[in-house]
Amino acid sequence: GAVVSQHPSWVICKSGTSVKIECRSLDFQATTMFWYRQFPKQSLMLMATSNEGSKATYEQGVEKDKFLINHASLTLSTLTVTSAHPEDSSFYICSASKTGTSGNREQFFGPGTRLTVL
Amino acid sequence: AQSVTQPDIHITVSEGASLELRCNYSYGATPYLFWYVQSPGQGLQLLLKYFSGDTLVQGIKGFEAEFKRSQSSFNLRKPSVHWSDAAEYFCAVGGIWQAGTALIFGKGTTLSVSS
């Protein structure tokens, strides 16, 4: 299989604090991981592409200083929401593509993290 | 520009009736196509995917989809809908991978099942 986990599955934090979300590929190596954001009853919007060992590539309109992404190993990427505000409340989903050409055709999604900022 | 269109925002189908969810894409090269399902508060579950070969693709839970290049479509079908199929359905397209390329998602179709 190709399993991706996220931790935590849900988090509530106070405005102004930082929150770290982990995305792990459990049984495969992921050269590339993606972070998506999903507002209620809306589609997934790509936030950034994370490549192991290099800086993430952010989509237009996504503040890279607010959404810090680190991809330090082939099985772990983290998204840190810094100085969170209520408007950052959302469902964050990561996905990972397997290392290797043929494996890159499919992404495997994590279960998502529900962030609520009070 | 690359895009995915799901024309139907919300569809209601009677239990036992057939279902077709529409998906049209705009992509410059041969696309890789996916259908995902999402229950409220949950992550995405892959229903089926098309990379190449037979244009009629079978997936899980009795779903199938047909790739029609001439129509740039990848419609999802199920012959008999069950109440548990009520969920949000997303069509997505991907392409040639160069160090990883993100999927482009449609806006989704909400499926309601009536008894």
Contact B4, B93 (CB under 8 A): yes
| Band (A31; pLDDT cuts 50, 70, 90) | confident
Render pLDDT for A74-87 as a digit per residue (tens, 0 to 9).
899 999 999 999 99
CB atoms within 10 A of CB A61: 7
**B-chain residue closest to A44, CA distance:** B105
CB contact under 8 A, A109 and B90: no
| Band (A100; pLDDT cuts 50, 70, 90) | low
Nearest CA to A97 out of B35, B34, B97, B36 is that of: B97
How confident is the model at residue A102, as a pLDDT?
56
Amino acid occupying residue A32:
T
| Band (A9; pLDDT cuts 50, 70, 90) | very high
DSSP codes of every residue in A75-107: TEEEEEE-S--GGG-EEEEEEEEESSTGGGG-E
Least confident of A20-24, A30-34, B17-21, B45-49: A30-34
Render pLDDT for A38-57 as a digit per residue (tens, 0 to 9).
988 888 999 999 888 888 99
In angstroms, rounded to a whole number, what is the distance separating the alpha carbons of residues A60 and B80? 42
Between B74 and B2, whose confidence is greater? Answer: B74
Q: Which residues pair with B75 in a beta bridge?
A: B66
Mutate to test the interface with A, among B103, B107, B110 (most CBs of A within 10 A): B103
User: Is A57 within 8 Å of chain B by CB?
Assistant: no
A-B CB pairs within 8 A amount to 55
pLDDT of residue B35 exceeding 80, the answer is: yes
The average confidence (pLDDT) of chain A is 90
- Structure tokens belonging to residue A73: 């190993």
- Structure tokens belonging to residue A63: 């503040």
Q: Which residues pair with B57 in a beta bridge?
A: B65
The dihedral region occupied by A112, where left means phi > 0, alpha psi between -120 and 50, and beta the remainder, is left
Residues of A with Cβ-Cβ distance to B102 under 8 angstroms: 34, 46, 49, 107
CB contact under 8 A, B108 and A42: yes
How confident is the model at residue B99, as a pLDDT?
44
pLDDT-above-90 percentage for chain B: 72
pLDDT-above-70 percentage for chain A: 94
pLDDT, mean of residues B84-90: 96
The H or E element that residue A47 is part of is strand A44-51
Least confident of A46-55, A61-70, A101-110, B4-13: A101-110
Amino acid occupying residue B38:
Q
Between B103 and B12, whose confidence is greater? Answer: B12
